[in-house]
Structure 1
């Protein structure tokens, strides 16, 4: 069945032909191709249908019923939400149909841009959820009004503010969902890569990081660039130390070899060594090996569980995390304290957690005993922290 050109679908029409000329060649459709009128508040456009010989026909919306769409720029669309879009802007716009068409067009353009970043296998899932969110946003916006449109008499200001806030919250949640979807896909793709590929890509990032810092340091030494050399060297060391703390032995071995090469080159070109032979950088590989061995040991170590007040604290050795499980959702001020103390909520483990360190144990003690006001006895906090840390092997 042929699809008649309409204001709902004209923005994604690619080729069209006259409805009463089934043997006609296809015309290339130009959405808003010609600007007819422009004023401070309004622009008027007409569309075009271009024949293969270059002949153009200008089309207004009144002419759409005489044309059928032959092909589309893209298939996925939100056309079925047009009426919901009109309702969404009936209380805030003098031309809600134009606003609905505009929003649907912009949402569809974003979907097409997003598809370029997503594997094809994720397109359908993404589109369905995106469609649900747009329907929700239209429904929320339909409760928002403007005194300029509905009139100022007995205007429900408080109710309208509540409706506006509800729409704003939904929009923020929609954007958060979209960002999370991309992150989940990126994480899945990364996990599916072969180990060798992941390591090589990680090394390329580390190498680029070293190269950037080393170039600046060389510039300080030879061109007197206005940077603090000690600070640049310290920053580079700190990033390499982070690799050691994560047990990245191979990364550090390759980094050490690369920096040795740079040291030789820089000295030959009138610069200085990035790290001298006595610098603690050269012991980081050994440190990473110790941490990696400790991680392997902890993998087979049984977790320790502490039942405390209305929560359970777990020393999860395999994940290297100290975890706090609450029987009920903590009060808002307790959650604020946890965030302030650098605890992160884990959806997978359904708990608050931090890296398993002595500081984490003291933090847990402050949260559990001290509470939001931190009024507890310092001795009690210290006692609980030592109990949690116990015989932990550093």
Structure 2
């Protein structure tokens, strides 16, 4: 993980973006009766801490998804964008006045209400940026990775990850079964050297567990049963089956995409009136191509069925699945006669 930009550095950028701490304090003169300097200082400290927290969340999300190599934004870039949104919010707020101040002064209330509405919009823009930053960073990194390694490369990466997770689950299932068998066979309990014996025997069977876990396993549950619970084995086994099914799906998609890229097969295309439905295996997308811009009702139906417009592909598309094929049929069935 990259080193997160310092709190004090972001605080300095925030202050500079509004003309300094004194200028920020003066903006509160029409909005509060409290100590203006203290209010400004507290606001800067809170905003800087919030920006640091946001950047840390982005980095954790990127590292968790294994996208560090494709992460295009630095911590400084994220900080600058935060500062820009925050400064716009503060400038909008500087134009407003508190109703307790303006009430007796015959202040133009409608104008103040418009300015307050503008301030609210700027806050919503800042809040959307700060809360959506991790998800947007992941999407952007995924797009960069896909552009760099292609659709088949993406599928290769996903397949390798699924196979690793499947292997880990299979090994865990074998370990849980072996440990439970040892507990039953040797009638081990948590007293005395039971945990040490269980850990040693598990290591001899190539299932390394620590004495701390061994002690927890040897403590009987409310039914007096020791070892891994039956629901742990059944849940893990269900995850093994799910991963195996997902591996089979990705392998099938990868085979189709490789066949298309090598020229051994073509994307499946069929025409309904003037509309084309394309199963684009290389992009792993089901695409609907219209001769022109579809009408509002058709666009609504497309979005309702999960299709989104892709300018780069010139098509309405969603991930290539059986559900997508069914959704395409539903959309096409609703097309006006001029397009169907």
Q: Is the helix fraction higher in 1 or 2? A: 2
Which residue does the alignment assign to 1:295? 257
CA deviation string 1:350-382 (max 9, x = no partner)? 6432233454233123224427xxxx9xxx9xx
Tell me the equivalent position of 2:15. Answer: 79
Mapped to 2, the partners of 1:74 and 1:97 lie a distance apart of 19
Measured after TM superposition, the shift of residue 100 of structure 1 is 3.4
**Equivalent in 175, 178, 182 of residue 137 of structure 2:** 182
CA RMSD of aligned residues (A): 4.9
Cα distance between partner residues in 1 of 2:11 and 2:99: 38
Equivalent of 2:316, from 317, 331, 352?
352
| Structure-2 change in CA distance of 1:114 and 1:343 (3 Å) | same
Shift of residue 199, structure 1, vs aligned partner: 7.8
Change (3 A) 1:370 1:158: farther
Q: 2:33 aligns with which of 85, 94, 105?
A: 94
Higher Cα radius of gyration: 1
Alignment partner of 2:246 out of 239, 242, 245: 242
Cα contact 1:217–1:233 (8 A) shared by 2 = no
Q: 2:328 aligns with which of 356, 360, 364?
A: 364
1:88 and 1:305 map into 2 onto residues whose CA distance is 63
Query: 1:337, CA displacement in angstroms?
Result: 4.1
Matched, 1:130 2:90: no
Matched position secondary structure for 1:323: strand
Q: Residues 294 and 225 (structure 1 numbering): CA distance in 2 closer, same or farther, change over 3 Å?
A: same
Match of 1:147 in 2: 99
Unaligned runs of 5+ in 1: 1-10, 13-72, 248-287, 385-394
Superposed CA offset, 1:328-352 (max 9, x none): 4864x75564444233555654643
Say which structure, 1 or 2, has more relative contact order (CA 8 Å, 6+ apart). 2
| Secondary structure of the corresponding residue to residue 103 of structure 1 | helix
CA deviation after TM superposition for structure 1 residue 246, in Å: 0.8
Residue-by-residue CA offset, 1:169-197 (whole Å, 9 max, x unaligned): 31343225623553257548977899999
How do residues 30-179 of structure 1 correspond to structure 2 at under 5 angstroms?
77-83=13-19, 85-86=24-25, 89-95=28-34, 96-112=36-52, 117=59, 122-142=74-94, 145-151=97-103, 155-156=109-110, 159=114, 162-163=117-118, 165-175=120-130, 178-179=133-134
C-alpha contact (below 8 Å) 2:277/2:288 kept by paired residues:
yes
- Structure (1 or 2) with the greater strand fraction: 1
User: Do 1:338 and 1:367's aligned partners in 2 also have CA atoms closer than 8 Å?
Assistant: yes
Distance 1:172-1:312 versus aligned 2 partners, 3 A rule: farther
User: 1:146 and 1:99, CA in 2 relative to 1: closer, same or farther beyond 3 A?
Assistant: same
1:322 CA displacement:
1.1
Choose 196-205 or 74-83, whichever is displaced more. Answer: 196-205
Contact 1:305–1:313, Cα closer than 8 Å, also in 2: yes
| TM-score, with structure 2 as normaliser | 0.54
Deviation for aligned residue 1:241: 0.6
Question: 1:158 and 1:220 mapped to 2: Cα distance?
Answer: 69
